[in-house]
Amino acid sequence: MDPQWIDLTIPREHRAMMVITAEKGWSPISDLPALIAPLKCRAHFLQRRLNADPEKADFCFEVSWRQPERSTPPLHLLTVVSERYPVNSFELTSENGADACCQEFELLATAASSGAGLAAACHRRSRLAD
């Protein structure tokens, strides 16, 4: 048996930076962690930014979960969150948080607003460090 294959099946901590848009209050800071807790995911609030709409704000979170390295991206997480909040960006980062190599999932606003499914609204782009 190939030892690399076994290593890819061991559950590991994964992290992502998620930006959602919500009404201007502070409720997403407690709402998002409670929303994703049943999925065995955690959300740590990082920042609140102004939005182009004066009645809304963008909230940045570090989201984490455990799954094997070879598993698919956490589309179930994106589905649950997008049912409550617009997800502006979702960027998978390496285990140690380094930004040098990451996979970024951007929601295409036109596909999402046209009623297309979340998977169709996600566009995957990979960046590799030089």
Q: Is the pLDDT of residue 95 over 60?
A: no
Topology of domain 13-127, CATH:
Alpha-Beta Plaits (3.30.70)
Judged against a pLDDT cut of 50, whether residue 129 lies above it is answered with: no
Contacts of 90 (CB under 8 A, 6+ apart): 16, 17, 18, 19, 63, 78, 104, 105, 106, 107
The Cα–Cα gap between 53 and 41 comes to 29
The residue extents of the domains of the chain are: 13-127
- 116 is written with which tokens? 């297309």
Give the alpha-carbon dihedral of 88, 120, 125, 94, to 10 degrees. 70
- Give the pLDDT confidence score for residue 67 in this predicted structure: 82
Among candidates 94, 115, 116, 114, which has minimal Cα distance to 104? 94
Mean pLDDT of 8-34: 88
Whether the per-residue pLDDT at 50 is higher than 80: the answer is: yes
Residue 92 bridge partners (DSSP): 16, 103
Tell me the whole-structure pTM to 2 decimals.
0.68
- List, for residues 28-45, the tens digit of each pLDDT value: 999 999 999 999 999 999
Top-confidence residue, 20 or 100: 20
Average pLDDT value for residue range 3-32: 83
